Amino acid sequence: MALTEVSCNKIFGGLQKVFSHKSKEVGCTMKFGVFVPPQAEENKKLPVIYWLSGLTCSEANFIEKSGAQRYAAEHGVIIVNPDTSPRGLNIPGDSESWDFGVGAGFYINATQSPWKDNYRMFSYITKELIEIVNSNFPVAEGKQSIMGHSMGGHGALVCALKNPGLYKSVSAFAPISNPMECPWGIKAFTGYLGPKETGAWSEWDATELVKKYSGPALELLIDQGLEDNFLKQNQLLPENLMEACKNVSFPAILKKREGYDHSYYYVASFIGEHIEYHMKNLTK
């Protein structure tokens, strides 16, 4: 698949690039970032970590605000970060609110019109993007992990739980842990998937997915700032996910960060810790 290089900047000895391409899954031009560490110059095959961003974000937020490149260069890992939704489709209603439509794809495959033909971010992330990355960058086969923030934390958890063995590890910063029970998730799921009574919602909710997971051993690393306004507004509900994990003996860690909020200041403070966690799993 043809890639167009949008930008390239040297940082910490590696290259932070942005590419665009025509996506078959979502039916529009998509952009994604790729940090290629300096170790790639040694013709080595390197592990890769995928990052999924949150509501209102594009591929730019993580690149510009997370500070992840420093740690990726130290560990010799490629980091790929896609956009959060299709863009430029001009579907009626896709830009009316900040938490639905453009910038808010929720990393699911929609089943309802007019979204079902394009809002297929789950398949884009777990199939099309992986194929593109594996074909165009020096990635070690089978050495991939996934992480994300907020809506992207939800996406990372769902991608890992619905694809046993695809990722070596998964972590999430302030994820929307139980979207079936929070305002953001209820709005998105109703629009993309239809009424709750259809039964489709539980297929896209990490708190429900852990209850029926069957596959290779997997641990959930959940990170949560305790001064997060969205935590206080019951949008995130990490305690529901942890309780579900406890009930079925699913390995999970919840790291509570005193004084930290929902912003990229928080993400930047602990992104190095998460990259180190993933590298331990990727290099086993």
Phi/psi at 146 (5° precision):
-145, 145
Q: Are 215 and 208 in contact (CB under 8 A)?
A: no
Neighbours of 179 (CB within 10 A): 28
Compute CA distances 157 → 96, 135, 146, 154, whole Å.
Answer: 27, 25, 8, 5
Distance, CA of 264 to chain centre: 15
Q: How far apart are CA 83 and CA 1, in angstroms?
A: 18
Distance, CA of 239 to chain centre: 20
- Residue 228 annotated as catalytic: yes
How is residue 103 written in tokens?
């910038």
Q: How far apart are CA 67 and CA 65, in angstroms?
A: 6
Q: What is the 3-state secondary structure (H, E, C) of 156-185?
A: HHHHHHCCCCCCCCEEEECCCCCHHHCHHH
- Residue 262 annotated as catalytic: yes
- DSSP code, position 101: B
Catalytic residue among 83, 205, 223, 228: 228
- Residue 261 annotated as catalytic: no
Residue holding tokens 């003996």? 249
Catalytic residue among 149, 262, 274, 278: 262
Catalytic residue among 58, 66, 85, 150: 150
Angle at 113 between CA 107 and CA 116, to 5 degrees: 35
Q: Which residues are catalytic?
A: 150, 228, 262
